[in-house]
Amino acid sequence: MVSLQEKKQVITTESKDILCTLARNNTANLAPCTHEEGDTRMILHAADAVQEGHRKIVLRTVDTDILVLAIALAGRLQEQQVELWVAMGTGSHLHYNAAHEISNSLGSEMSKSLPVFHAFTGCDTMSCFAGRGKKTAFTVWKSYPAITDAFLQPGPEMHCSLQLL
């Protein structure tokens, strides 16, 4: 049996500190971690893993927000051939979602637009957009491709939060 230390790198945050199963020389991209939401922390960790040379990454969560953000990140990593998986659920309901495959099926532009779409349609701070759920909004988005262009051109206040992707 291969131990976790030999084959896998697990990274997590504790407050603003970074904890790693394998020693790392440089955690400047991760620490100190000032992201209030775990959602963006996980995406930050995944982006760092890619920079460190990892090509298969699994994010473990029960939050669909992570899947949406992972698909957006996968859209930005398509040329690097990274497999980005999101393990969701608990117990016998645990399943793995291939964020990289979902991103490929949506296309690069739509995948990159997901964080803005997600912010408009419901995230941790907003439950829905004008009383409409994500499914309805997504159907409208697919019917009007020009919306993607609008999502890709956010105002200056959005650029800061999108840079981590």
Q: What percent of the chain has pLDDT over 90?
A: 18
Q: Where are the domains of the chain?
A: 56-162
Instruction: Look at residue 80 and give its three-state secondary structure.
Output: helix
Residue 87 to residues 23, 94, 155: CA-CA distances in angstroms? 25, 7, 33
Residue 127 to residues 32, 70, 111, 147: CA-CA distances in angstroms? 30, 20, 21, 20
H or E segment and range at residue 121: helix 108-121
pLDDT in tens, 74-124: 988 877 889 999 999 888 999 999 999 999 999 888 888 888 887 777 655
Please determine, for residue 158, whether its predicted confidence score (pLDDT) is greater than 60. Answer: no
Q: Between these two residues, 87 and 14, which has the higher pLDDT value?
A: 87
Report the pLDDT value the prediction gives residue 74, as an integer from 0 to 100. 92
The whole model's pTM is what?
0.71
Sign for the pseudo-dihedral over CA of 12, 159, 97, 48: negative
